[in-house]
Structure 1
Amino acid sequence: MNRRNLLDRLRPLLMVGIALTIVTALVIALPSREEAPVEMRETVPAEREAEPTTRDPGAMITPEQLSRTFREVAQEVLPVVVEVNVVEVVRQTAPRSLSPWEYFFGPQAPGGPEPQQREFERPGLGSGVIIARQGENAYVVTNNHVVGQASRISVTLYDRREYEAEVVGRDPRTDLAVISFRPDGEVPIALLGDSGSAEVGDWVLAVGNPYGFEATVTSGIVSAVRREAGGRGQIGTFSDYIQTDAAINPGNSGGALVNLTGEVIGINTWIASQTGGSVGLGFAIPVNTVRRVVTDVLERGRVSYGWLGVTIVDPEAGRFPELATDLGIEGRRGALVLNISRGSPADQSGVLPGDLIVRMDDTPIDSSNQLTRRIGLLSPGETTTLVLVRDAAEQTLTVRIDERAPEEDLADGSLVWPGLAVVPLGDQLLESLNLDQSVRGVVVADVVGGSASDASGLRPGDVVLRVNDRPADTVRAFYRELNATRGDEVRLRILRQGREIGVGLVK
């Protein structure tokens, strides 16, 4: 029995959703680089012939047949997964030996010799997948946190050939990096699948070099799809993740997650663990995201993302769940706009602070991370339609997307309006701020450095009582009056430490 027939029989019993595919070579012409085209391997759906099948969907699969399938997939995938070794130079303060005087009488007076700074080499290890080749160069995709700020990078192939490598491009927003090396012979290229077709329950294999144990294969299933990182450390937020219980450990980062047809459907990236080892909670970047990042890097040397120009949060999340009720949007999901960047696509199209974006084109928006990712996938110059809720009424706007600038440029608070976040003044805040129950207003929860709110002297904990001499007893009322301002100044009456103060925000 060949592997394809076996997979047909596995589908109904093991919930492995695998489409018949044929392998094609994708050639991308890159006029800005070498004349040779970039070659990648992908799959396209095979045309099914309308003929009766004799397959018995109830036939049992023996352990030997399943084992043979795993073995064949492993043999196909192992040669395209490499070990990535890096060396990073770090500077540390070297301890200074004490003189006899200091040993007996304590440290010297100020002005003595400064501690010495020394350089140390710190090795690191990860995995990578050979994803393309162009002329004499082979390209490997791995995690950005694997290459870090390495001064030296090398890759070791499955056949133990070893080559020096260099970074071609990186994308911290998805935690992906592309490195290249020049092999002295042929190298295999990974077969890329369609991560969008992965479903919970599909069998998968994770291939990598955990703890330096090269060419390790573990098995499991797809535990969940479209998982979000939830702001965990340095994990990329411009991607969702495929969750798997296949064992993933330190050293697996950058390795392949493959289905039972040998197609790469993800790049293993992080684990959730209190011990640092696998507890069955591994996460991989979907290959559809990887494909886009790699293509951008190879075509233009960097990754381009769409940009809307808003600061957004989830209205039901965090320490103030009553925020949605105060805004009149309880029970609705979406991305709540706190601030707008001046001159941004959002600003030019009419998006305002306090808007709840609930739909983008035909897709409902469930969270701020989802909106960020979907906007990021658009190319600069593309248009999109946003449906939003403003003051309890739905509106539709058309937005022309710009290219997202580097994060350090986006950190310029002087372009942010109004530069603050407010929350309802509930009973808990009344008590913690020592305020009388009769006080009505909203509380400043955050102020963006360098913004108009920061320049005016607003501080977290200030209670906004009135906006332009009109009551701001709810968050909804605050945004209504803020957005209704005519002219370039908004007048606020705030309560701070028992005293009322007048503050002006200049646009």
Structure 2
Amino acid sequence: MPRIRWYGPSVVLLIAVLLTMVAGPGIVRSLAYAETEARIQTIQNNLAQSDMLKSLSDAFTQVSEVVEPSVVHIEILGTQRARQRGMGQSPLDMFPDELRRRFGIPDDYGQEEGAPETENYDKYNPQQVVGNGSGWVFDDQGHIITNNHVVADAEKIRVRMRDGSRYDAEVVGTDPKTDIAVLKIDATGLHPAVLADMPVKQGEIVFAFGSPFRFEFSMTQGIVSATGRKNLGIIGFGGYENFIQTDAAINPGNSGGPLTNIYGQVVGMNTAIASRTGGFNGLGFAIPVKTVEGIVSQIIESGSVSRGFLGIILPAEDMTPSMARSFGYDGEGGVLVNDVVPDGPAAEAGLQRGDIITKINDVPITDIEQLRNIVASFAPNTSIDVEYYRQGKGMQRTEVTLSEMPADALAMNPDQSEKPETDVESQGSEILKKFGITGVQTFTKDLADRYSLGFQEGVLVKSVRRGSEAMTEGLSSQRPSVITHVMGKKVTNVSELTDEIAKHNPTEGIRLSVAVWDKNGEEYIQRYVFLELSSE
């Protein structure tokens, strides 16, 4: 009898496998979707119930509500001027005179008959907005604070408040050396900003307010990236820089607006950005509110700013450790006194060239810019305690009564960027040549008369090799320089100079005292030059 095979279970299993292969991906997707949807819903519920996040968001909103009433938009108005002769009157006016003559075009072609050539018709042009910036209300008397570069040379200034009201503004005073300006409007019911009484620290949350790219009354958020940023060249030669760096977005138009902390208190004034594109790249800079407050108070009181003057001439760059060691100083920081102003405060207090200032009122001095900022922060006639190091005598102290900084104080720190002449007969030794001093000559009264210079005993630098160590350190034949000392030892002729140079190891560095002729003041300015050869 034939055996009957039962395939039922196998068939069922096969069908189940086939159905799974067909429907499986859809089922998997459905399960994954359901799982993702459930996770999203859970997270949304957690976020909605998060008191911390809601508090943070509410705090940001409250900062805006506190600060915005004191923020202003500043418009600079002026008349548009013709850029060139006849521009806008006739298309032919843009052609040069030579080209007009070549094609036989009359000089008066296209000009309106009877129009006087000397009349300035630009004055009839309507005033238009030619620039804009930001600012903030300082007090209820109508004083508005902004950057000097926002309002410099403005024909007319208009201030617009958050509520849309507009006021013409007058300039009370400016301080280009800190880029601060004070305006005044005739208004009541103002909301002055609240100023922070403590300096910010790195990492603090801050908010930048202003009108970037004319997007008025904007607010951005970031942190304090750094403090005490100096030597950025933002304000220019002779300016005082001590910036707060922030990554809160600052763009053109933000200038003059307030930078605040999480309490809505002003900690700084937005001033500049570091950018390769002209837009924000994460590097914004603000003037600390303590600096702003001090300058503004002076401007409101007197219309100008006066600063303390120590009466010393500073080097072009901070002192290197090698330069410090050449004086026997092994401490940290300090600023070298290049020279003292005759009969100035420092000279009267006993300070001398070659001293190293280490503290002012027990505040350690680390660099030139810090020293300048500290001294400038004091009013004239203020007495300050100065700690300094003097070679051979160690640490000293003296009290200096500051005078008022003269208008020509910048001339006391000469620019050392002149390019030297070359190919002049060399009289120096091999070691001087390695430094790049390729020509020297004993300086005599006859030479001084020949070159129309004052006489200074020493050795005249006649030529400096381009790109050399000497040129890098500022020596130049373009600006007459007389070497007077080598490592503190006086030299009066070439022989003494080369003899003293030979006593020292150039790879350890040699300090020269140099008298540089200032043709404007018709006098010599003393400075130190430290020359060092690589040991490689």
User: Normalising TM by the smaller chain, what interval?
Assistant: 0.5 to 0.7
Instruction: Tell me the amino acid that sits aligned with residue 406 of structure 2.
Output: A
The one-letter code matched in structure 2 to 1:437 is: E
The alpha-carbon deviation at position 237 of structure 1 amounts to 3.4
Structure 1 residue 131 corresponds to structure 2 residue 134? no
Cα distance in 1 for residues equivalent to 2:436 and 2:350: 24
Secondary structure of the structure 2 residue equivalent to 1:274: coil
Q: What is the aligned partner in structure 2 of residue 373 from structure 1?
A: 373
Report the Cα offset of residue 67 of structure 1: 0.7
What residue number does 1:259 align with?
261
Please state whether the residue corresponding to 1:192 is helix, strand or coil.
Answer: coil
Q: Which residue of 2 aligns with 1:342?
A: 342
Gaps of at least 5 residues in structure 2 are 1-49, 87-92, 106-116, 439-450, 462-475, 517-522, 527-536
- TM-fit CA distance, 1:436: 3.9
1:383-407 CA-partner distances (Å, limit 9, x unpaired) = 112122232633222211111123x
8 Å contact from structure 1 (residues 309, 346) kept in 2: yes
Separation in structure 1 between the aligned mates of residue 208 and residue 287 of structure 2, nearest angstrom: 13
Q: 1:194 aligns with which of 193, 197, 204?
A: 197
2:389 counterpart letter in structure 1: V
Change (3 A) 1:92 1:337: farther
Could you tell me whether the CA contact under 8 Å between 1:174 and 1:236 is conserved in 2? no
For residues 4-19 of structure 1, what are the structure 2 equivalents within 5 Å?
Answer: none
Aligned-partner residue type, residue 387 of structure 1: E
SS of corresponding position for 1:84: strand
Q: 1:292: which partner in 2?
A: 294
> C-alpha distance in 1, partners of 2:315/2:96?
56
Q: What pairs up with 1:393-412 in 2 under 5 angstroms?
A: 393-406=394-407, 409-411=408-410
**Residue 141 (structure 1) aligned with residue 145 (structure 2):** yes
Task: Give the Cα–Cα distance (whole angstroms) in 1 for the partners of residues 285 and 484 of structure 2.
Answer: 46
Determine which structure has the larger helix proportion and give its number. Answer: 2
Q: 1:294 to 1:434 in 2, by over 3 A?
A: same
Does residue 103 of the first structure (1) align with residue 100 of the second (2)? Answer: yes
Among residues 300, 312, 315, which one is paired with 1:313 in the alignment?
Answer: 315
The letter for the 1-side match of 2:313 is T
Q: For residue 172 of structure 1, what is the aligned residue in structure 2? A: 176
* Range with bigger deviation, 231-240 or 154-163: 231-240
What's the CA shift for 1:190? Answer: 0.6
Please tell me the residue identity of whatever aligns with 2:194. L
TM-score by length of 2: 0.64
What CA distance in whole angstroms lies between the structure 2 residues aligned with 1:154 and 1:296?
23
Return the offset for 1:338. Answer: 1.8
Whole-angstrom CA distance in 1 between matches of 2:242 and 2:262: 22
1:77-476 to 2 correspondences below 5 Å:
77-87=67-77, 94-95=84-85, 97=93, 98=95, 102-103=99-100, 105=102, 123-134=130-141, 138-183=142-187, 185-196=188-199, 198-234=200-236, 237-313=239-315, 316=318, 323-329=323-329, 332-391=332-391, 393-406=394-407, 409-411=408-410, 436-439=429-432, 455-456=454-455, 460-461=476-477, 462=481, 464=483, 467=490, 469=492, 471=497, 473=501
Question: Per-residue CA shift, 1:287-342, capped at 9, x if unaligned?
Answer: 1111111111112222221111222137656xx88544544446642222223222
Distance 2:288 2:224 in 1: 12
Whole-angstrom distance in 2 between the partners of 1:477 and 1:322? 9
* Whole-Å separation in 2 of the counterparts to 1:285 and 1:480: 37
Q: Given the superposition, is the C-alpha separation of residues 241 and 434 from structure 1 closer, same or farther in structure 2, using an over 3 Å criterion? A: farther
- Name the CA shift for 1:391/1:63 in 2 (closer, same or farther; >3 Å): same
Change (3 A) 1:326 1:115: farther
What are the within-5 Å matches in structure 2 for residues 7-46 of structure 1?
none
Cα distance in 2 between the residues matched to 1:173 and 1:453: 35
Report the CA distance shift for 1:395/1:202 in structure 2 as closer, same or farther (over 3 A): same
CA distance in 2, matches of 1:246, 1:93: 38
Tell me how far apart the structure 2 counterparts of residues 107 and 233 of structure 1 sit (CA, whole Å): 51
Distance 2:237 2:138 in 1: 22
Secondary structure of the 1:132 match is coil
Please give the alpha-carbon distance, in whole angstroms, between the structure 2 residues aligned to 1:357 and 1:306.
16
Q: What is the one-letter code of the residue matched to 2:288?
A: P
CA 100–276 in structure 1, closer or farther in 2 if over 3 Å, else same: closer
Q: Which has the larger radius of gyration?
A: 2
Three-state SS of the structure 2 residue aligned to 1:199 is coil
| Alignment-mate amino acid for residue 192 of structure 2 | I
Q: Deviations over 1:77-136 (max 9, x none)?
A: 01101011113579886256348864353999xxxxx999996978111100101123xx
Q: Secondary structure at the match of 1:395?
A: strand
CA displacement, residues 401-460 of structure 1 (integer Å, 9 cap, x when unaligned): 111123xx33566xx9xx8989xxxxxx9xxx895424499979xxxxxxx996459672
Q: 1:221 to 1:107 in 2, by over 3 A?
A: farther
Matched-pair identity in %? 33
C-alpha RMSD of the superposition: 4.2
Give the Cα–Cα distance (whole angstroms) in 2 for the partners of residues 345 and 90 of structure 1: 50
**1:153–1:361 CA distance, 2 compared to 1 (3 A):** same
Change (3 A) 1:118 1:378: farther
- 1:142, 1:365 → 2: CA distance? 30
Q: CA deviation at 1:206?
A: 0.6
CA distance in 2, matches of 1:239, 1:194: 20
Distance 1:84 1:300 in 2: 24
Q: Deviations over 1:171-211 (max 9, x none)?
A: 1111101000012x412111111242x11111111100001
What is the identity, as a one-letter code, of the residue corresponding to 2:284?
Answer: G
Q: Any idea what the Cα deviations from partners look like across 1:446-482, whole Å, max 9, x if unmatched?
A: xxxxxx9964596724572764536564898755999
Instruction: Tell me by how many angstroms 1:267 deviates.
Output: 0.7
Matched with 1:503 is none
Give the aligned residue type for 1:313. Answer: P
1:380, CA displacement in angstroms? 1.4
Q: Give distance in 2, aligned partners of 1:334 and 1:278.
A: 36
Q: CA, structure 1 residues 158+336, in 2 after alignment: closer, same or farther (shift >3 Å)?
A: same
65-74 or 121-130, which moves further after superposition? 121-130
